[in-house]
Chain A
Amino acid sequence: MELLQYEFIRNAIMAGILASISCGIIGVYVVVKRIVFISGGIAHASFGGIGLGYYLGINPILGVLPFSIASALSMGWVSKRSRLPEDTAIGILWAMGMSIGIILVSLTPGYAPDLMTYLFGNILTVPFSDIVLMLVLDAIIILVVYSFYKEFLALCFDEEFATVRGVHAERLYLILLCLIALTIVVLIRVVGIILVIALLTIPAAMSRQFTSNLKKMMLLSINSGSFGFISSSITLFSLINSSYFSLIFFTRLDIIDPT
């Protein structure tokens, strides 16, 4: 309990739990609908949003939010409507998003601090303002999934039959991709763009081994995700003396963020 006195540890635990909730719910859809590749595409294309954030001088997360939604919608639209094979279209948009990000970062005058944080994430540097944003996004994800639960299930299981039964499958699919985009925004601070795909797949794939019910899969994924985050924080803490740990932590912050 001693470790809860540090604000960054409290934030880390909260961020970990909030991240587990979104990736536990949405990861299950990603795994059962087999849209891991398009999710990876949306995640990487979101790097363009980080570039945008740096370029405009705002919190990069606020740049990621519209950018990831836009890339989710365009990927969904292109993969369903264009004559290109779906995976080719995703590959192109994936690369486009990342290159826009790199162009915008290099156009921004000066050195880009903590850029690596967005690529690989750092659970210990999540500020409280981002936790509030994560909380709001989690609430939206839960609300939408709760409202469309039976439609999402039909969409994932048998899209064609869902259409025959009057479900607007394409619209619903785009909504699902937008939820993936929101999940990516939640996860970026914690694990980074590169590792988003790990959190979207591993907890869901693990829970699939224990249950054949979608709701139970979601709960199990959330649990295993939270357990992973909290236990890794505690392991870190017990490995390193707390004062020494915080020393390294704050020193490191100084190095990467001279302001």
Chain B
Amino acid sequence: MNMIADVVVIKDVWVHYDSIPVLEEINLVIKEHDFLGIIGVNGGGKSTLLKVILGLIKPSKGTVRVFGDTPQISRKYIGYVPQYSLFDLEFPVSVWEVVLMGRLGHTGLFKRYSEEDKKAALDALAKMDMLEYKDRQVGKLSGGQQHRVFIARALAANPKLLLLDEPAAGIDTIIQEEFYELLDKLKTKMAIVLVSHDISAVSVYVDKIACLNHRLYYHDSKELTAEDLEATYHCPVELIAHGVPHRVLKKH
């Protein structure tokens, strides 16, 4: 593995659910310090692609390499923020316990969490500005605060790759802005991939953008062609250009 190794290399990956293809012929290379946004309609396979990178779903064809190894081996370097709506918010667990779960891969079975684990969890909470809510039950926080707890849980593992599934869902615009600014700071330390169905939110902040609708349209840049978008959304999409540095579409 050389110094600027590719973080994720996906080659000709196909995934089928009950013989219906969800991902077709996916080829994707994620490099160090990439900040990649993957956009696409719901049901287009965005979460599936993240789960393939995490090794939670085995592709029916093709290979996935994360940090040069199988996803199962490299998982410990990946931070994962799942879709927000999937949690049981009545669950009797405190913010502190949730964030410590991010350290599970670092502590062996039968052992308690070490001082190092606790320090990493504290750092992650501090980074997300959630230290004062440490002992609160997760269900008793607001949506935006819960969201930050789940990001802190992912950061507690000190990941080299951060995967976020629909991170903007369920939080209001002001918090979204803070959140993207935070990601902007984090991207110097890790590669970040976030998936979303909301083009406008994603396109402003990410450095590179891809479209996914069973097939992946990606040019290793922030440029998408009108054809890519049409193939993804099945209809012409009006894009608002956010000033020159944030243009999504080329001038035409």
Question: Which A residues contact B (CB, under 8 angstroms)?
Answer: 32, 34, 147-148, 150-151, 153-154, 156-158, 160-167, 208, 211-214, 217
Contacts and interface: CB of A to CB of B under 8 A. Distances in A.
Interface string B90-132: 0111100110111111010110110000000000000000000
B109 A165 contact: no
Nearest to B80: A164
A236 to B, nearest CB: 34
Contacts of A214: 92-93
Closest A-B pairs by Cβ, 7 of them: A165-B104, A212-B137, A166-B105, A212-B92, A165-B105, A154-B101, A164-B80
B94 A165 contact: no
Given A158-B86, A166-B105, 6 more contacts: A150-B104, A157-B87, A157-B88, A157-B93, A162-B101, A217-B92
Nearest to A211: B92
A167 B104 contact: yes
B78 interface: yes
Contacts, number: 72
Nearest to B157: A165
B54 interface: yes
A162 B82 CA distance: 12
Contacts of A160: 56, 82, 86
Given A147-B109, A160-B82, A165-B104, A153 B97 contact: yes
A181 B82 CA distance: 32
Interface of B: 54, 56, 75-76, 78, 80, 82, 86-88, 91-94, 97-98, 100-105, 107, 109-110, 112-113, 137, 139-140, 153, 157
A208 B92 contact: yes
A153 B102 contact: no
B56 A165 contact: no
A157 B153 contact: no
19 contacts: A150-B100, A150-B112, A151-B109, A156-B91, A157-B98, A158-B101, A162-B101, A162-B104, A163-B56, A164-B78, A165-B76, A166-B104, A166-B105, A167-B104, A208-B92, A212-B137, A212-B140, A213-B94, A217-B92
Nearest to A214: B92
A161 B92 contact: no
Contacts of B102: 165
Residue of A34, A147, A154 with most partner-chain B CB within 10 A = A154
A178 B105 CA distance: 24
B80 A161 contact: yes
Contacts of A212: 92-94, 137, 139-140
Contacts of A164: 54, 56, 75, 78, 80
Contacts of A156: 91
